[in-house]
Structure 1
C-alpha cells in the first residue's frame, strides 16, 4: 500500500518525530511512503482530487537521518488521491495558526474529500475538525478531567484562582508544545496581568486546577483503535518529566523521557475515554495522564514512539502500520461500504 503522511512542512520534520518512526516502519514492511503538506492539494474542475506528493522514488532508508536526507532530495510527483490507500494526518494546526492561517484546516478539509473518494484517512477528518482546540477536552467525562474554566476575562480567572488555593495552570485554548503555560499560585500574584496578556494573545484561556502529582511529570499513553497500545504486556507509554523549576513536561519544553509504569488506574482512565475516541474516529491518540486525571488528549500529532523504543526496545510503529494494513483489508472486503470514521477505529 501507499501511505501519505500529511505534515506541516517537509523541512520542519525531525529525526526524533514519531512521524519519522512511522514512515520507517511502513518502509520496512514493504510499503510506499510519500509526504504531503497543506499546499499540496489540487481539486480540478472534473472533481478529481490530486496531491503533489514528495516521494522517495523507490529508496528504502532504514535510519531517521537517511530518511530526512532522502526527503530533501526527493521529487514531487502529482498523483490522483486514489493512488494512495491511507492518508495519515500528522500536522499540528497550532503551528500554522499565526503565520499561515489558511493552512490550519487544510488537512481536515481535504481529508474529507479524500475519504469521500475511498482513501482511508486517519484520524478521521470530521473527528479532528471537532478537536481544533482544547475545547474538545471538555467532551470527556468530568470524573477524569481537572476542574476547568475557559474565559478571556481576567476577573473570572482571578475568581477561579481564588477558589483553588493549591494553584492553577493557565494556558491558551489554542496551542501546543507547552507554549505560554503558567502556574499561578494566587490571584494576587504580582505579574498576573503580564501572564494573562502573554497567554491570551492567541484568544481564549484555559484555567485548570493544579494537580500536585504533576511535579513528577505526566505519563503519555498511546491509544490505538480506542484501546491502550501494547505488545507482550508492554504498553506504549513513557513518563515526561519537567525540567527543574518548570511546570511543563513537554519534551519540546526541556522535559525528559523516562520509562513509565502503566497501572490499572491508568488503564481505567483510558477505558472511560474509549467511547468518545471511537465515536470520533480517533485511530491514534496520546493521552497525558497525572494521577487519576487526564491533562490532554493529543489527537493530531502524538509523539514519543522513539522514546518508548529507546526505553523498551519495541518499535510500536510496526504495530500501528500493521493496524493500517488491516483497515485496508477490511475496506477491500466490504467494497467501500464502511464509513471512514468506522474504519478509523476498527
Structure 2
C-alpha cells in the first residue's frame, strides 16, 4: 500500500511519544510506502489534486525504538497526486481547515480516508459530544455553548454547582481549559471577554460545562477502532494543574475499563462507525463523555508503554486500514468482472 499522512510538520514530532510517528513506523515496517504533508501543502496542478510531500525512504530493517526510527529516516521532497495513494490518514491538529477538506473531496471516492471527510466535518469540535446526549441519556455532563456573554453569565448564575469548566470550542491538548468556582467569581466577566473576543474583532464560541466530581483525580483516554475500544489509560493531573492532559504535565497510569465505560463505548460506537469515524479518542470522567477527538487522537505510545509488552495498538490500526483497502480492491475487481460479463453478453 501507499499511505499519505496529512499532519503537522516532521520537525514538530515528539520522537519518543508521538502517535503519528508510531503509525508511520508500523507502515514502514510492513513495507508500505509512506509520505507526509501538511494541510498547507495541498495544491491543484493541471486539475489534479496533489501535495508537496515528504516521502520516507524504505528501510531494510526498521529500528525498534521510535527515537531511532525518527533519527534514521531518510526523507525526500516530491509533489504527488493524492488519488495515487491507497490511504490518506488524517492526523492534523485542530482546528479543522474547511478548505483542506474541499481539496480532499476530489479524491474521496478513489482513496480510503481515515477518518471520513463528512464525519470530520460533523465531529471536529467539542459540539459533537452533544449528539450523544438527550432526555433519556446521562452520558454527558450538562453543557452550554455560546458566544453570548450575557447567556453564559445567566447559566453560571442559575447553576447549582459549586464548580464549572470553561474552555474554548476549538482548543486541544488541554489548552485554555480552566476551572471556575462560585466562591471566586470576581474575574468571570474579564475571563469571558478574553475567551469570546478576538483581537481581529470576531467572536469565539465558549463551552461551559458542569464540573464532574472526581475530575481532580484525572480522566480516562479511550482509543476506539471501528467502534470498539482497543486501549485506555488514566491521565492524572500534575500537582499544580487541574488538567490531566499529558501535554499539560499530567502523568499516565494503567486503566481497565469499568462497566460504565464499556457501556458508554457500546452506546456511542455505532454512531462513530456510521459517521465514518473509525479511529477516535474519547475522554471520560466518572463514566461521562467529556470530549471526542477525531482529528489526531493520541495516546498510543503511552498506552503501549504502561501495558508493555502485551499491547501494540498501532498494529491493530494498520491491520484495520489494510483490511479496508483490501475490501475496496475486491469490490472494484468484482465490479469489473460483472461489467465485462455485461459487455460480452
Normalised by the size of structure 2, how large is the TM-score?
A: 0.87
Any stretches of 5+ residues in structure 2 without a counterpart?
199-203, 336-345
Provide the residue aligned with 1:195 in structure 2: 191
Distance 1:337 1:136 in 2: 37
Q: Does 1:330 align with 2:327?
A: yes
Residue 125 of structure 2, aligned match among 124, 130, 133: 133
Distance 1:51 1:139 in 2: 34
Provide the residue aligned with 1:114 in structure 2: 107
Q: Does 1:264 align with 2:259?
A: yes
Whichever of the two has the greater Rg, that structure is: 2
Q: CA deviation at 1:281?
A: 0.3
Residue 186 of structure 1, aligned match among 171, 182, 196: 182
Any idea what the Cα deviations from partners look like across 1:218-277, whole Å, max 9, x if unmatched? 110111111112xxxxxx100011112422111111111111121121010011112321
Q: CA deviation at 1:196?
A: 1.8
Distance 2:84 2:42 in 1: 14
Q: Does 1:123 align with 2:115?
A: yes
* Change in CA separation of 1:85 and 1:265 when aligned onto 2, cut-off 3 Å: same
Q: CA deviation at 1:4?
A: 1.1
Provide the residue aligned with 1:51 in structure 2: 51
Distance 2:99 2:322 in 1: 25
Query: SS of the residue aligned with 2:303?
Result: helix
Partners of 2:146 and 2:205 within 8 A in 1: yes
Partners of 2:167 and 2:208 within 8 A in 1: yes
Q: CA deviation at 1:51?
A: 2.2
Number of corresponding residues: 321
Query: SS of the residue aligned with 2:39?
Result: coil
Provide the residue aligned with 1:303 in structure 2: 298
Partners of 2:92 and 2:296 within 8 A in 1: yes
* Change in CA separation of 1:312 and 1:106 when aligned onto 2, cut-off 3 Å: farther
- Within 5 Å, give how 1:208-227 maps onto structure 2: 208-227=209-228
Distance 1:194 1:242 in 2: 26
Residue 65 of structure 1, aligned match among 59, 64, 67: 67
Q: Does 1:5 align with 2:11?
A: no
* Change in CA separation of 1:119 and 1:276 when aligned onto 2, cut-off 3 Å: same
Q: Does 1:21 align with 2:14?
A: no
Q: CA deviation at 1:56?
A: 1.4
Residue 149 of structure 2, aligned match among 151, 154, 172: 154
Distance 1:40 1:67 in 2: 24
Q: Does 1:252 align with 2:247?
A: yes
Q: CA deviation at 1:292?
A: 2.1
Query: SS of the residue aligned with 1:175?
Result: coil
Provide the residue aligned with 2:232 in structure 1: 237
Q: CA deviation at 1:337?
A: 9.0
Provide the residue aligned with 1:30 in structure 2: 31
* Change in CA separation of 1:74 and 1:293 when aligned onto 2, cut-off 3 Å: same
Query: SS of the residue aligned with 2:10?
Result: coil
Q: CA deviation at 1:336?
A: 8.1
Query: SS of the residue aligned with 1:144?
Result: coil
Partners of 1:85 and 1:120 within 8 A in 2: yes
Partners of 2:228 and 2:266 within 8 A in 1: yes
Provide the residue aligned with 1:88 in structure 2: 89
Distance 1:3 1:204 in 2: 35
Distance 2:287 2:252 in 1: 20
* Change in CA separation of 1:70 and 1:50 when aligned onto 2, cut-off 3 Å: farther
Partners of 1:286 and 1:302 within 8 A in 2: yes
